Amino acid sequence: MKKIVQALFFWMFLFLGACKGDPGYHVAEYQEVKYEDVPDDIKIPSKAWDLLEFKQNSEEASATKNLIFSEVSVFLVQKNPGVVEGEAVRIDMPKGGGNIDLSRYITNQRGSFYVGFEFPAFAEAKNKKVLFVSGTRKRKIEGKIFGAGCNQFFDITDHFFKEMKGEGIKVNTTQERYLSVIGGTFLFSAQKDNDVLIAQVTFKNPQFSALFCEGL
């Protein structure tokens, strides 16, 4: 129960920071980037995998499902000038997703930007799930704790869909706060009949490796 409360607090704190009425990541044009590399293997807690495979009860746990890698797109759109290289970027990931080095897109300019996702497999899916596995250490900035800590994962499904209909996830570059919020892995799964379509997006930034957990 304590972990669930902490998870809700963490993501409510994040999403309440968005200012309503801004188009966010929904803009008319993007600089398009296509990734084709096969994604690296990532470590995911076993309980997280059970959620992704929708094994909520013994009947579902015993059922055999077909796991299928699916496409996912990521959007990085600046709110303040100079924050995102190219102003608005759409990154199309290969089937199964992959890693994004944020140092290629996010500058040292102070300001905010929006993060959005598009997972086509969610269309007409019977069940949908979005998890976040934190990949950054906890740290204190101006008296507030940022980052969820290593190997912590959260079910953010409801908040995710609410924010994607709006501006997306709004983060700030000041003192690299954005890394403590999105640094880690977003996991997506969608069930269609006996098929479970999955993908992951892992955000890294080697320029600030000390903020990240070992192995990420």
Separation of alpha carbons 108 and 215, rounded Å: 25
What percent of the chain has pLDDT above 70? 86
E-assigned strands of 149-194?
A: 153-155, 169-172, 184-192
Separation of alpha carbons 35 and 93, rounded Å: 5
pTM: 0.87
Query: Taking the CB of residue 92, how many other CB atoms lie within 10 A of it?
Result: 14
Average pLDDT over residues 150-175: 95
Tell me: the pLDDT tens digits for 163-213? 999 999 999 999 999 999 999 999 999 999 999 999 999 999 999 999 999
Separation of alpha carbons 214 and 135, rounded Å: 8
Average pLDDT over residues 128-142: 94
